[in-house]
Structure 1
Amino acid sequence: MYKNILIPVVFETPEITQTAFDAAQALAAPDARLTLLHVIEAVPVYVAEYIPTDIVTSTREAVQARLDALALSLPGAATAIADGRAGPRATRWAEENGTDCIVIASHQPALSDILLGSVAQYVVRHAKCAVHVVR
């Protein structure tokens, strides 16, 4: 049983996210800390200068609201937002916060995943804690 579980969240796949929640609850110790993490990818500098600051702020607030709504379906869950590339940032967040298991959802692989890699694949290869991949 794990005491500090990280669940990276992608909003585009709610059915897979629920599967990750179910797995995390099954793997969690009774007093476990569960954290839902969404990583916001950085906007390239040449694009960022054309995006109004209020759009960036409102987008971050919308992400937080969606995370908070998801956390309601996972009793006792906390939420976090991080910036960067999803795979590296999730693994670094896990290490910085003493995570002992990452429960990550993975979609069905496509050819682009084989050539470029996926977030779940990155996490599996680089995390310093246990990783549980669900589909």
Structure 2
Amino acid sequence: MYTKILVPMALDHGVSTHTLGIASALLSSGGEIIALHVHEAPQGSVSAYLDEATVAAGFDRARAELEDKLSDHPHVTPVIVKGHSSRTIIDYAAAHGVDCIVIGSHKPGLSDYFLGSTASRVVRHAGCAVHVHRASS
């Protein structure tokens, strides 16, 4: 059982219900679940075409979507931060005393073995326990 569980949530993937359920099952009495969404800023030439207001509006939409996804989970704390997905998840866990990460993963393709998916990078580099939920499709 864990006292502080981090559940990274990609807002465009449908595994969050499963990972939140797993986190709830693993949580010690009086423990805390944090749902983390890492908002990645537009990169490269795309950023040249977006003004600050547009980028800020995207961040605000992501925050609202995260809060909406968690509306049925009042015991879960929503957190949204800016950064690169895997590195930010790992750094957040270390900085906030997280003792377990429950992360969803898609079925890996060949490119994941060369580049690594977010889940595989978190598994390799996190300083705490990591439970991976593999989506069925």
Common fold: TM-score over 0.5: yes
Aligned length: 134
Tell me the residue number matched to 1:34.
33
Following TM superposition, by how much is the alpha carbon of 1:45 offset from its aligned partner in structure 2, in angstroms?
A: 5.0
Counterpart CA distance in 2 for 1:80 and 1:119 is 18
Following TM superposition, by how much is the alpha carbon of 1:28 offset from its aligned partner in structure 2, in angstroms?
A: 0.6
The yes-or-no answer on 1:86 pairing with 2:79 is no
Tell me the residue number matched to 1:4.
4
Change (3 A) 1:82 1:35: same
Counterpart CA distance in 1 for 2:36 and 2:74 is 15
Counterpart CA distance in 2 for 1:107 and 1:101 is 20
Amino acid at match of 2:7: I
What per-residue deviation string (whole Å, max 9, x for no partner) do you get for residues 53-88 of structure 1? 111111111111111112222231111112221011
Identity of aligned residues (%): 37
Following TM superposition, by how much is the alpha carbon of 1:92 offset from its aligned partner in structure 2, in angstroms?
A: 0.2
Following TM superposition, by how much is the alpha carbon of 1:48 offset from its aligned partner in structure 2, in angstroms?
A: 1.8
Tell me the residue number matched to 1:129.
128
Cα RMSD (Å): 1.3
Counterpart CA distance in 2 for 1:75 and 1:103 is 18
Tell me the residue number matched to 1:120.
119
Counterpart CA distance in 1 for 2:52 and 2:26 is 40
- Structure 2, unpaired ranges of 5+: none
TM-score (normalised: structure 1): 0.93
Tell me the residue number matched to 1:51.
50
Counterpart CA distance in 2 for 1:112 and 1:64 is 30
Counterpart CA distance in 1 for 2:9 and 2:81 is 11
TM-score (normalised: structure 2): 0.91
Counterpart CA distance in 1 for 2:72 and 2:110 is 33
Tell me the residue number matched to 2:20.
21
- Structure 1, unpaired ranges of 5+: none
Deviates more, 1:116-125 or 1:75-84: 75-84
